[in-house]
Amino acid sequence: MTDFVDKVRGIVGDRGLITDDAAKHPYLTDWRENYLGSALAVVRPATTTEVAAVVKLCAAQKVAIVPQGGNTGMAGGGTPHENGREIVLSLTRMKRILEVDAIGYSMTVEAGVVLKTIQEAASDNDRLFPLSLAAEGSCTIGGNLSTNAGGVQVLHYGNARQLVLGLEVVTPEGEIWNGLRALKKDNTGYDLRDLYLGAEGTLGIITKAVLKLWPKPKDHATSWSAVPSPDAAVELLSGAYAASQDNVTSCELMARQGIDLVLKHIPGAVDPLAERHDWYVLMEWSSTRARHEGTNAGGLREKMEAYLGEAMEKGLVLDAVLAQTEAQSQSLWALRENHSEAQKREGPSIKHDISVAVSKIPAFMTDGLAAMKKALPDCRPVPFGHVGDGNLHFNCQAPAGWDKARFAPHIEKISGAIYDLVVAYGGSISAEHGIGRIKVDELAHYRSKVELDTMRSLKRALDPQNIMNPGKVIQV
Ligand code: FAD
Ligand code: MLT
Ligand code: ZN
């Protein structure tokens, strides 16, 4: 394989190649530290042409490729297997913003651009790129599109799939498909773009994308409310659509257990309310209409205040704070966005990234918590998430003091109980994180034969040698 690595070096040069064990390590393990793989090399091409040449070489030598962006994925899809016969193909050197078309509300970028950089470029042009998630400082747009990422503004703007117009993709044969079309309408045969979105790198490598932009909001309101139950949370959201004149852009539900972990592990985190409550809702409204200042000052904040006041009278809200400044809004958001980090610092946990219809969230919460406790009475449920999309992170923290080895034998029973319940509720066992490596068996178990056969046929047709992220999403 020295010969293979030398040929790769011939394509990407020394700057594009990592073979040293210590330098490779961060690319061989996932954010959650569930997997530690091995790779012939970490290859970091600088252009689409280099990606295509590397893929052609891999196809000729039957070397499997694991595409990787910011390596923040939750499902192990970007981590190589342990056999050492794969390469990691990192897109992080392809980080140019190629065009911002403010008139046409689109932006063309390379796959390795960090999400936050894209948000900032949009904002600098008085536009919004609405994809937003806690990993936005390190995840890349290629990873976002390949996982069809969700995040905290899906209820208003949609998943990553809805935020993209065109793609450039390198196929498993090393061909370049230029689908970088900035078209809102294009009914010319099968939609190849949609195939690659959410494919988790198993069908090809996304090298560039044309993204959709929106007008930049000029007014925001953020509130943090203690609510008596998930029922009240769902009702609060339901009324907020009309009260805000359809300006609800985020609605996140959290249980006290998650807040306690954030307060324990994240320096500077502060509980904004004087008393403890069981459930919290973080709501963001935003509008392109600027607030009025001076006499008759007003905008979303006043509307939200009035709405929360009414909700309090109805008993839907027990206590609430409304951010008066951008800094206050950010510190409320930090309580929500630090849930994953706090859970990680607390110790082992299982993530159940599930969705059910929004109206079924309250009943699911009751049944799901009972099922989790029945499977392991000492476990610590940490449910939170994007309630406006029906997407809960129905996570389960190991009993206090347990390590991974002690917790591992219980995972199948706990997750099985939760996923069976999700399916009984007509929900999804992976709402936004994808399947990766961690849910390959679950996908095979919970999806119908016709769905699995169609997925396998697609994979075999597009990647006949099975070199593109093999063993992820679906076994062929
Ligand atoms: P990676 O982790 O590098 O890769 C993810 C998958 O995409 C892998 O299968 C990989 O092979 C493939 N891939 C990567 N780049 C390419 C490419 N260019 N072409 C083809 N395949 C590629 N996710 C959400 O959806 N919503 C959330 O709210 C959310 N919150 C998070 C919070 C935290 C703190 C963290 C750590 C993660 C969170 N995630 C969330 C998960 C993760 O950030 C997203 O899935 C993100 O989209 C992954 O991007 P990435 O660049 O890190 O991809
Ligand atoms: C989030 O929304 O913060 C993550 O997707 C949730 C998780 O880490 O489980
Ligand atoms: Zn999430």
Q: What is the pLDDT of residues 4-41, one digit of tens each?
A: 999 999 999 999 999 999 999 999 999 999 999 999 99
Average pLDDT on 328-357 reads 98
Task: Identify the nearest ligand to the CA of 45 by its number.
Answer: 1
463 CA → ligand 3 middle, Å: 30
Give the separation between CA 236 and CA 261, rounded to whole angstroms.
25
- Compute the half-sphere exposure of residue 27: CA atoms within 13 Å on the CB side of its CA: 28
Please work out whether the CB of residue 395 comes within 6 Å of at least one atom of ligand 2. Answer: yes
Count the Cβ atoms, other than its own, within 10 Å of residue 365.
Answer: 24
Please work out whether the CB of residue 393 comes within 6 Å of at least one atom of ligand 2. Answer: yes
Residue whose structure tokens are 């999806």: 447
Task: Identify the nearest ligand to the CA of 201 by its number.
Answer: 1
pLDDT for 5 equals 97
pLDDT for 1 equals 75
pLDDT band at 2 (very low <50, low <70, confident <90, very high): confident
Q: Whose CA is nearest to atom 21 of ligand 1?
A: 201
Element of type H or E holding 157: helix 154-157
Q: Average pLDDT, whole number, for the chain?
A: 97
Dihedral angle of Cα 354, 358, 363, 368, to the nearest 10 degrees: 10
Q: At residue 296, does pLDDT exceed 80?
A: no
Give the E-state strand segments of 271-370 in sequence order.
Answer: 279-287, 319-322, 349-350, 353-355
pLDDT for 293 equals 79
Residues recorded for the chain: 476
Q: At residue 440, does pLDDT exceed 80?
A: yes
User: Degrees (nearest 5) of the Cα angle 246, 281, 163?
Assistant: 50
The proportion of the chain whose per-residue pLDDT surpasses 90, expressed as a percent, equals 98
Question: Mind listing the pLDDT tens digit for each residue in 199-222?
Answer: 999 999 999 999 999 999 999 999
Q: At residue 64, does pLDDT exceed 90?
A: yes
Residue 66 CA, closest ligand 1 atom number: 11
In whole angstroms, how far apart are CA 55 and each of 19, 72, 143, 302, 461? 18, 23, 18, 56, 17
Q: At residue 298, does pLDDT exceed 90?
A: no
pLDDT band at 93 (very low <50, low <70, confident <90, very high): very high
Q: At residue 175, does pLDDT exceed 80?
A: yes
Q: pTM above 0.85?
A: yes
Give the separation between CA 338 and CA 169, rounded to whole angstroms.
33
178 CA → ligand 2 middle, Å: 33
Q: At residue 288, does pLDDT exceed 80?
A: yes
Count the Cβ atoms, other than its own, within 10 Å of residue 372.
Answer: 24
Cβ-count burial 170-206 (b if 16+ within 10 Å, e if not): bbbbbebeebbebeeeeeeeeebbeebbbbbbbbbbb
- Report whether 304 contacts 285 (CB < 8 A): yes
336 CA → ligand 3 middle, Å: 10
353 CA → ligand 3 middle, Å: 7
Average pLDDT on 252-261 reads 98
Question: Mind listing the pLDDT tens digit for each residue in 388-403?
Answer: 999 999 999 999 999 9
Please work out whether the CB of residue 80 comes within 6 Å of at least one atom of ligand 1. Answer: no
